[in-house]
Amino acid sequence: MSDIHTEHPLTRRTVLVAGATGGIGEGMTRALLQQGARVVATGRNDKRLAGLASYVEGAGPGELITQVVDVGDADTPGVRERLTPFGLLDGVVITIGDWGSPERTGILDTTSDEWQRMITANLTSHFHALRTLTPLLAEDGALVHLSGFSAEIPYPFAALVGATNAAKKSLVRSLTAELDGAGPRVYELVIGPIRTRPRAAMGADSSRWFSAEDLGRHAGRLIAGEGPDTAAPLQYLLTREHGVRTTPPQ
């Protein structure tokens, strides 16, 4: 991954993390604090946000602010108004989503209710988050959005995850084209399996994978505008071996 040009590239910068209490979100939050950011960590559960605060305590020179708000729900009243007191944001990281039932289910056996639930939780929520958070960014700020590599490949028996990943990737790519350089930079990061605390606790871990902290450090550099990767709005971070790419590995 790109070299860090300054010890704390996000000093005096404010970064909002949507989905900060998830496995990826907590690791990214920790890394952003280590880079000196004032991190506004949002989530839907006060108890989980308190757990996040405990986990990242003393992580770095940055400041953590927790905010109970669902940025992916258009019916939550006053979402944008509750976030404007933090001023124009230098960065936004969107790492929200729902992987659905752990049971692998084929398309023909998927119920209409489960289809609608996944569309709402894993696609509509991203539409709402983009619409809510993009206007809060400074013109020279950056939005970093995460999607899984299932957006690129057949994903048998978990097709709703792949379908919603592909759709939200398309949504973000279209937003980039619509802004056309007139406004904040937008980055779509397509990721492979990521090392997180919850996954490690389940016995799923590999030194070949990027960690959530790796993603946070990379996002921090993009927000700070540092390194060669800042020119690429679409990036693939699948394994450490592949590094950061602008096209998927063959």
Q: According to the model, what pLDDT value does residue 142 have?
A: 98
Q: Is 168 helix (H, G, I), strand (E, B) or coil?
A: helix
- Give the position of tokens 């693939």: 236
> pLDDT tens digits for 1-29?
444 345 789 999 999 999 999 999 999 99
What is the distance between the alpha carbons of residues 235 and 147, in angstroms, rounded to a whole number? Answer: 10
Identify whether 3 is part of a domain: no
For 53, the domain range is: 14-245
What mean pLDDT do residues 220-246 have?
A: 96
First to last CA, the chain: 20
Lowest-confidence segment of 7-11, 26-30, 139-143, 144-148 by average pLDDT: 7-11
Question: By the 8 A CB rule, do 60 and 112 touch?
Answer: no
Directed axis angle between helix 112-119 and helix 159-179, to 10°?
Answer: 30
**Predicted confidence band of residue 100 (pLDDT cuts 50, 70, 90):** low
Q: How many CA atoms lie within 13 A of 76 on its CB side?
A: 17
Q: According to the model, what pLDDT value does residue 97 have?
A: 85
pTM of the model: 0.94
Q: Is 43 exposed, middle or buried (0-12, 13-18, 19+ CB in 10 A)?
A: buried
Q: According to the model, what pLDDT value does residue 103 have?
A: 79
Identify whether 4 is part of a domain: no
DSSP state of 230: G
What is the distance between the alpha carbons of residues 19 and 72, in angstroms, rounded to a whole number? Answer: 10
Identify whether 5 is part of a domain: no
Q: According to the model, what pLDDT value does residue 249 have?
A: 84
**Cβ atoms within 10 Å, residue 76:** 14
Identify whether 113 is part of a domain: yes
What mean pLDDT do residues 148-170 have?
A: 95
- The rounded radius of gyration (Å) of the Cα atoms in the chain is 17
What mean pLDDT do residues 157-178 have?
A: 96
Identify whether 122 is part of a domain: yes
Q: Is 145 helix (H, G, I), strand (E, B) or coil?
A: strand
> pLDDT tens digits for 188-205?
999 999 999 999 999 999
Identify whether 125 is part of a domain: yes
Q: According to the model, what pLDDT value does residue 104 have?
A: 85
Question: pLDDT > 70: what percent of the chain?
Answer: 96
Find, among 184, 154, 185, 189, the residue nearest to 168 by Cα: 189
Q: Is 161 helix (H, G, I), strand (E, B) or coil?
A: helix
Residue 42 has pLDDT above 80, yes or no: yes
What is the distance between the alpha carbons of residues 244 and 137, in angstroms, rounded to a whole number? Answer: 25
**Structural tokens at position 141:** 């700020």
Query: What is the separation of C-alpha 182 from the centre of its chain, rounded to a whole number of angstroms?
Result: 22
DSSP state of 78: T
Query: What is the separation of C-alpha 106 from the centre of its chain, rounded to a whole number of angstroms?
Result: 27
Identify whether 1 is part of a domain: no
Identify whether 33 is part of a domain: yes
How many domains does one find in the chain?
Answer: 1
Q: According to the model, what pLDDT value does residue 129 have?
A: 96
| CATH code of residue 205 | 3.40.50.720
Beta bridge partners of 145: 94, 188
What mean pLDDT do residues 122-151 have?
A: 96
Query: What is the separation of C-alpha 154 from the centre of its chain, rounded to a whole number of angstroms?
Result: 22
